[in-house]
Each structure stands twice: as structure tokens, then as C-alpha cells.
A and B are shown apart, each in its own frame.
Chain A
Amino acid sequence: MTSTAKAVAAIADDIIDLTPKERMIRKAKSHLGFQFGAFIVVTFALIAILAPLIVPHDPYVQNLSNRLLSPVWNEQGTWQHILGTDHLGRDYLSRLIYGARISMGVGFGAATLGCLIGVTIGLSAGYLGGRVDQAASFLLTCQLALPSLLLAMALVFFVGSSVATLVIVLGVLHWQYYMVVTRTLTRQIRSLEYVSAARSIGSTDRQILFYEILPNLLNQIIVVFSLEMAVVIIHEASLSFLGVGVQPPTASWGLMIAEGKTMMYFKPYLVMIPGAALFLLVLAVNLLGDGIRDITAPESRN
């Protein structure tokens, strides 16, 4: 070995020798935002899955004599209905728990579908360029020109309302940001030398896309995902509010806000409770997204 190599080896001793996995675990352990986000998301997911087992009351049973009971922290509140009841006397906590199923399902489902569509279009447009890129950009312009809420309403109206329809319609209408972000980044990365290097060691286009380019888009995709998920949940709420989303008596957080809106000035908790749940979920998803980004990103040189 030359003297150069020896000297290089000497300096290298202070770089810690960890495999990528070990390093990720170590970073996750010291990342508070990631831990908090993951905790909330996992808790919410568990609540949604186990909903039938943990609800104190049937969320659909109406009891008009118990209408609009206040939550327990209010003077008139009782432990019978911890979060009070709504305008039809249904237990609010139970509805909140069942609502988590719809809101989270629609949120994750539609955001994932949009992600698949947007990233696919964006990657091919950015990587192949030329005609494909022109076609994709045209599609994007069309999509941006259409009022998406109106389109969603029309689609749901024709197909018929169900949770699955909602996921598909919202997913199909929320791919633009993924596409714009992936297209631009792919175009930049395509011209970098490591892509040429990959080609010269014998990689095919597919291998380049999945092994070299996609991992480098992950950060940005995660960020867009956490934003889009919030947007989709709110869109679902708007659709439900307009009467083409989730149909009553099914509970969803959006629908609960919509139903509570008329009583907002007298019984603010009707809006605040599902609102707070929504806020917490969106916040947690954002924190989780940032956390995943920080943990998977290669650390910078000290």
C-alpha cells in the first residue's frame, strides 16, 4: 500500500463503522419528532382497527332525549358520554372512533393512489422527456384547469357514493403535486453523472429508474405525501358536507364537523373535537414524514 493510502486509513478511523440499518435505528432513537409522529399515527391506526371492540356505545344509536350532552369536562357533562352526544343523541366518542376508520382510510388510501399515479407520470415524463413529457404536461394543465371539487362531486354522483369510490375519485384527482415534483427532480437527476455511470456499468433503464433515481426522490415524495394526505382528508370532509361523500349515519371526522357546524356557536365542542383529532393526525403525519426523511437521508460530513 502506498503512503497515501496509509494516511487515508489513519484519518478514516474516526468515522463510525455502522451498517445503514444500524445507523437508521440509531437516528430514529434520537429523533423526537419521528417518535411522536409514529406514536400518534400507530395509536390512531390501532383505534381505527379495533373500533368495534373499544367503543363505549353504538355510534349509530340515536337517543333524542340525550341530545347535545356536553363533554365530561363541562359542568353538565357525565362519564356516561365522555365526549358528550351530537344533535341526534349519538355518543360522540364512539362516532369519533368510528370516524377514524373512514378519515384515515380515505386519507392514506387516496394519498397513496395519487402518489402512485403522480410519481409514475412524473418519472416517465422527466426521464423519457420529449413527446412523453409534452403529453404529461398537457394532462397536468388540463387537470389544473378543472375545478377538482366540482369534478369529484360529479364523479361520485355518477358512480354512486361509497368509501371505495371516494378513495378512488380523490386519489385520481390528487396526483398533480407528486407529478410536478418528481418530474422536475428526475430531469435534474437524469443529467447527473451517476446516471451515466450506472448506464456504463450496464444498468438498464428500469434499473436506473428504480435503483438510482427513485431513492433520491423519496424525501420530496414523503413531504408531498404528508401534505396531500391532509388535503385529501379535508376534501373528503367537504364532499361529505356537500352530501356526496360519506353518507350519514356513517361517521367520518369531516362529516362530524359538517354536522356540528350549525350548532357551532352554542356547542363549540361539536366542531372542536373532530377538528382536534384531524389536526393531531395531520400534524403526526407531517412529523412522521419529516422524521422518515431525516432518518433515511445519508448524514452529511460532520
Chain B
Amino acid sequence: MSAILEVKNLSVTLKLAEGDMTAVQDVSFELNRGETLGIVGESGSGKSVSSMAIMGLLPKETRTDATTLRFGDTNLLMTREDEMARLRGNKLAMIFQEPMTSLNPVYTIGRQMTELMQLHRGVSSTEARKRAIELLEKVGITAAESRLSQYPHQLSGGLRQRVMIAMMLMNDPELIIADEPTTALDVTIQAQILNLLKDLQKELNIALIIISHDMGVVARISDKIAVMYAGQVIESGAVNDVLNTPVHPYTQGLLESIPVPGQIEPGGELGSIPGLVPSLKGKFTGCRFANRCTRAKDVCQQRFVPLSEVKNGHSFRCILTSEELRDGTSSLGHRKQGDGGFYGSDINKEAPPILSADAAECVFSIRQKMFSGNKPLRAVDGISLDLRKGEVVAVVGESGCGKSTLARMLLGLQKPTSGKVTLGGKDIGSLSNLERSIKLQSIFQDPYSSLNPRRTIGEIIRRPLKLHGIDCADGQRQKVEEIMERVGLPRNFYNNYPNQLSGGQRQRVAIARALILNPEIVVCDEPTSALDVSVQAQILNLLLELREEMGLTYLLITHDMAVVEHIATRVVVMYLGRVVEVADTRTLFSSPKHPYTRALLKSVLTPEAGAGVPRVELGTAYPNPINPPSGCTFHPRCELATDICKSKAPSLQGLSFGHSTACHMMERKTA
């Protein structure tokens, strides 16, 4: 059987105002029907551009060159635009990252699904409708017929992505390209969507290209994998070969920088690849990874590095041989191991809490229609939480569970509607802005929006000192430079603006700003979720180092269980505004009690080659917080649910010291 897609020496040149930029260079792969190719790489590695080149979706100003770019019998390089459009509707399909924006909000689902088929196949509208219903059922949507008349905003993110997949299947495509299909979704939904894609692909014998920055996703569902870096494939081959015996220093480093439970001790230093992805503008002569590579020699910079093969299709792009590269030393150099002791054992659990929430509740009133009354939305529904010195408490949960609102209340940015939040024994509402901020600081999720684009790095970091009137001008500058050095920012960034920095560097600026006042507690709201894996490792290492050095206490808000397991000492699991389980990290990960916690843990995708995606049976939708289910709010998705769960809400019950959960089933067992 000949390959359905053959790409050989593909290169894409973008024409920019400042000159040409080779976004993709020398990319080759083949794909058969029924096969899955995973393309993995950090942002800017050219993985999306390559797929757009195959789809013919790049803007006119770009130049696409290839020795071969063949799909079935068609040479995609020679295809006219109108033929390409027909091909895209019929045989090639693409699934995009954002299910929120890839469906048109003004048309019904039914219209969007049937339109394409009627256009390309000339079938009648009843036939198209029939097929749409059939496919919606296939992708696991209940009450499929009634969904056709719904609009995209009436569906949840996971449902929309299912609709998107069903829509792509309408014309029986032969190749589906899924560009980060689950990045915008919650972990439990991610597992479902990935399983769906994999099942459909097997059943319909489709070729699938899955593009992701998440090694876990790619590793588990692909047959072949291509690791991209700065526009080139630097290693490719069967997924087992590449992940189990990586050759290229970058692949080795990338795999080491992912916190994998069991492989690295909690609190230890993660491997991180130093430096940044190079800018692709201008001409590259040598190896593109050379400036970050610990094995780099002078000759690396001088000549083009071709791919060389290890064995049956496993190839890599390096001047060294595979034996030299696999000599057993880490390509990241030496790194500090965990202290061997029980991470977090130095915390005094009897000490009075420095920050605590006492039955804190936050209710927003939402007006759904113009003339209907206000409806309460319980974003946070009576949460009590204590933070003791030195702890790293992680609050985890899916989007919409109220974890960010909780963080805002603890920061004093949102007033609790009842209950109270105390900082150092005083009600946080009674403290002035300045009194509060000297003890409590925060780091935000998105380093691209958390820094004022009009202020220089120096001004941003210095601002807290100015507001608090600490030190004279020279003293302030000196303090800023000290902290910049501490967080790993070069001193000459002082006069730069945020948009001249990369995501990781910006996050370092945000950390420096939070730490310059020497706070006791830092609230980190998803501090690494907007960053690439190798940069995430740098930031996590920095946070851990700083904690030890400055005696900080962290409250970490996140959805990433792997990060939690690595740096948290205690975990609070939230669901629909309530705490469902609290335990110290080790206990929670070794013996989770609440069914929701178990589902969350099960959906963590570690990069295990070909392991498949665990099936998480959680029903499809996260409930709408305006109309929460009765009794235990988790019961509609819970496999253990009985009658009592529907009528009575469980309260948090202690199981052992420091471990408690809110579940009727657990009560019965312990009783």
C-alpha cells in the first residue's frame, strides 16, 4: 500500500516586512491510511505551519517548496485554489484548537454540518440531516436530533469539539489534521476527545496527524512521531523508538523536563533546556539547536545538518552519531536531586495559619434574560482553607470550578459575600491595600497580559517599592537589579519593554515583581500553563528554589496534576465551588478517595509510548454552575452515585490526619 500522504523536503518561507523567514525547512514524512502521526514541538517550531502548508491554507505571500507534496494521487503543489478548496471539503479535514471560535456563532449546528455536504456532494437536505444525526451519535452526543437546531453557544467546549469532529467526518475524509485538538479543554474531557478520535480513526481507517505541544497526548495515541524544533524535524520515527530511546539532545531534554511521577522526586530540580528557541529570521547555516546544546561544538554552527538514520525509520538531525549521543550522560548536564527526605516534612502543621478562609462564599448574581430576575451563581460555596508557613497548597479543578475566584478572594481582590478571609489573624477586608500587599503577592497565568506593555521591565519591578515608599531612588534600583539577578533576568533588560521578552522571561519579571516586597505568601494562578514545557520546567525550578531561600508559602491554582504532584505539599480538589477532597500530596496521589479525584488522576497523560488514553467515564458535560445538580453536585457524573447522593449534599469528613473528602460512599466505608 502506498502512503496516502507523502511530504518530502517541505519548506515554507514567510515574507515579512523585515525580510524572509524560513518557518519550516526540510520536513519529510509519509503517512498511510489508518496511521497516526504525532507532531510535537514548542511554540514557534513550525508544526502548525507545516500542516497549514499541506492544507493549502497559508496566506498568498508565503512560498511553499517541496520535492514531493502528494496526497493520494494529487500533487498538492500544482493544485489550483478551487480544486484545493474542493479537496479540503472532501478528503482533507482539519480540527482546530479553539472549539469556542471555530464554529460560527450565528448559524445552527445543523446548518453548519449539512452545508458542507450539500455543497460538495450535492445531496438533498434530508439526506444530509440524516448523516449529521448519525455522526453526532457516533461522536457520543445524546439527543442528536435536537442538537441540530442549537447554536454553538448553547454547547459546552467538549461538546463543541465533538460537533467539530462530526462535522469534519461528514464527507468521509481520508486525512484529518488535528491541531492541538484538546489544548483548550479540561483534562477529563481531553481524555474523552482523544479516545473518540482514536476510535473513529480505527473504525473509518483514516490517516490522522495530531499536532500538540503536549508530549503526553502525542505519545499515547500516535504510531509515528516527529519532534520539531525551530522549523525542522530533529527526530522522527516509531513512537516507541523515539520516546524510549531518544537520540537528539533536544528530545532527551524535552522528555526530562516533563515532571513524571515516579521518575523525579517531588521538590527536586526538573531538567530544563537552557536558553530560547532562536529567531527564525535570516539564514541559518548550522544546527538550529546548537545555541542551547550542551554537546555543541564549533562545527555545529558551520554546516547544514542532514537527517541520519539509526534503524528502521528512526532518524535524527545531529552531527554526532547515535552511539555518541546515547553515552548515558544527561544532555542537560548535572542537576540537583531532591533532598531525599519527605518533601515538605519541615512544615509545622500545628502552627497558626498565616492565611485562612473560613466558610468563605462568593455568590455572583447573573441576569440571563433582560426581564427575568437575577439568579445566584455560587462560584465559591463555603470553603475553609488554612495556609501554614512553608506550605505549597495546590487548588485543583476543572475550569469553572471556582478556583480562580477563590484565589481572588484570598488575594483580597474579591470580597466574600459571606464567611471571611484572614491574613495573619486579621480580616483581609480591614487591611489597607498596602498592608495587605506587603505580605501577600500574586503571580498570574498569562505573562503576556500581566505586564503593562507601556512600562519598562525596570519600572514594572520597581513599582511596588515606589508604591510602598521603600528606599530612595538609587536603593530601589539596586534592589531591582538584585532581584532580577535572583530570578535569572540579565541586568540589561532593565530598560526593555515586555514585548521584547519571551514568555518565560516575562514570567520571571512577574515573579520578580511579586517577590521584591519580600512577601510571606505568593498566590500563583496557573503560573506555567501559558508556557512551553521546557520553559515550564525552568519556572517551576525557580519557584522551588525561591521557596527554599526566602521561606515562601505558595498557594498554587492549577489544573495540571503533574505540576501539582511535583511541587505541592498539600492538595485541595474543588468541584463546582466546593472542596471534594483535601490531603497531603503523597496521600492524595497514592490513595485518592473521591471519585472525582480519581477521575482527575486517571486523566493525567504521562508520555508513555503507545499506552493509549485511559477511559474516564465521567459523562460528557461539566454542569452549568447556575443550575447545579441537587444533593452532591457530582452525582450525575459519578459511577458510584446512589439515591442519597441526589438528595443530600455530603460534607467534608476526615478520613485520617489531614485527609478528608466529601462523599457519602466514603462515609459509609469508614463508618
For B450, the closest partner residue in chain A by CB is A193
Which residues on B sit within 8 Å (CB–CB) of A298? 453-454, 456, 497-500
Instruction: Tell whether, in the assembled complex, residue A203 and residue B467 are in contact, meaning their CB atoms are under 8 Å apart.
Output: yes
How far apart sit A194 and B460, CA to CA, in the bound complex (Å)? 10
Q: Pick out which of these stretches binds chain A: B358-366, B390-398, B431-439, B578-586.
A: B431-439
Which residues on A sit within 8 Å (CB–CB) of B444? 193, 196-197
Interface set, chain B 312-326, CB cutoff 8 A to A: none
Q: Which 9 A-B pairs have the closest CB atoms?
A: A298-B497, A5-B488, A202-B437, A7-B274, A193-B450, A12-B490, A7-B275, A193-B444, A9-B490
Instruction: Tell whether, in the assembled complex, residue A15 and residue B493 are in contact, meaning their CB atoms are under 8 Å apart.
Output: yes
Interface set, chain B 450-468, CB cutoff 8 A to A: 450-456, 463-464, 467-468
Interface set, chain B 82-123, CB cutoff 8 A to A: none
Quick one: CB contact mask for A1-34 with B, threshold 8 Å, 1 for yes? 1111111111111010111100100000000000
Work out how many contacts link A and B, with CB atoms closer than 8 A.
131
Decide if A207 is an interface residue (CB 8 Å cutoff). Answer: yes
CB-CB under 8 A for A4 and B456, given A193-B450, A202-B436: no
Decide if A142 is an interface residue (CB 8 Å cutoff). Answer: no
CB-CB under 8 A for A15 and B437, given A194-B451, A197-B513, A215-B454: no
Decide if B207 is an interface residue (CB 8 Å cutoff). Answer: no
Please tell me the number of chain A residues within 8 Å of chain B, measured between CB atoms: 42
Apart from A197-B451, A211-B463, 14 more pairs, CB < 8 Å: A3-B333, A4-B488, A8-B489, A11-B275, A20-B456, A193-B445, A196-B408, A199-B433, A201-B441, A201-B464, A204-B433, A207-B467, A298-B499, A302-B279
Which residues on B sit within 8 Å (CB–CB) of A198? 452, 463
Partner of B500, one of A5, A9, A15, A201: A15
For B465, the closest partner residue in chain A by CB is A201
Which residues on B sit within 8 Å (CB–CB) of A7? 274-275, 292
Q: How far is the CB of A296 from chain B (nearest CB, A)?
A: 8
How far apart sit A12 and B502, CA to CA, in the bound complex (Å)? 11
- A/B interface sample: 21 pairs, CB < 8 A: A1-B485, A4-B272, A5-B485, A7-B275, A8-B274, A8-B275, A8-B505, A13-B492, A23-B495, A193-B450, A194-B451, A198-B463, A199-B413, A200-B413, A202-B464, A203-B463, A211-B463, A299-B497, A300-B499, A301-B500, A301-B501
SS class, residues of chain A in contact with chain B = helix
Which residues on B sit within 8 Å (CB–CB) of A200? 411-413, 437, 440-442
Instruction: Tell whether, in the assembled complex, residue A17 and residue B495 are in contact, meaning their CB atoms are under 8 Å apart.
Output: yes
Which residues on B sit within 8 Å (CB–CB) of A194? 449-452
CB-CB under 8 A for A201 and B276, given A3-B333, A5-B488, A19-B495: no
CB-CB under 8 A for A216 and B453, given A201-B463, A202-B433, A202-B468: yes
Which residues on A sit within 8 Å (CB–CB) of B333? 3
Instruction: Tell whether, in the assembled complex, residue A12 and residue B493 are in contact, meaning their CB atoms are under 8 Å apart.
Output: yes
CB-CB under 8 A for A8 and B490, given A15-B496, A193-B445, A201-B517: yes
Decide if B541 is an interface residue (CB 8 Å cutoff). Answer: yes
Q: How far is the CB of B144 from chain A (nearest CB, A)?
A: 36
Which residues on A sit within 8 Å (CB–CB) of B468? 202
For B545, the closest partner residue in chain A by CB is A2
Which residues on B sit within 8 Å (CB–CB) of A6? 274
Instruction: Tell whether, in the assembled complex, residue A1 and residue B275 are in contact, meaning their CB atoms are under 8 Å apart.
Output: no
Partner of A3, one of B18, B274, B436, B499: B274
Residue among A10, A15, A204, A299 with max Cβ neighbours from chain B (10 Å):
A15
Decide if A150 is an interface residue (CB 8 Å cutoff). Answer: no
Q: How far is the CB of B581 from chain A (nearest CB, A)?
A: 28
Decide if B446 is an interface residue (CB 8 Å cutoff). Answer: yes
For A17, the closest partner residue in chain B by CB is B492
Which residues on B sit within 8 Å (CB–CB) of A259? none
Instruction: Tell whether, in the assembled complex, residue B413 and residue A193 are in contact, meaning their CB atoms are under 8 Å apart.
Output: no
Decide if B538 is an interface residue (CB 8 Å cutoff). Answer: yes
Decide if A212 is an interface residue (CB 8 Å cutoff). Answer: yes
Instruction: Tell whether, in the assembled complex, residue B275 and residue A10 are in contact, meaning their CB atoms are under 8 Å apart.
Output: yes
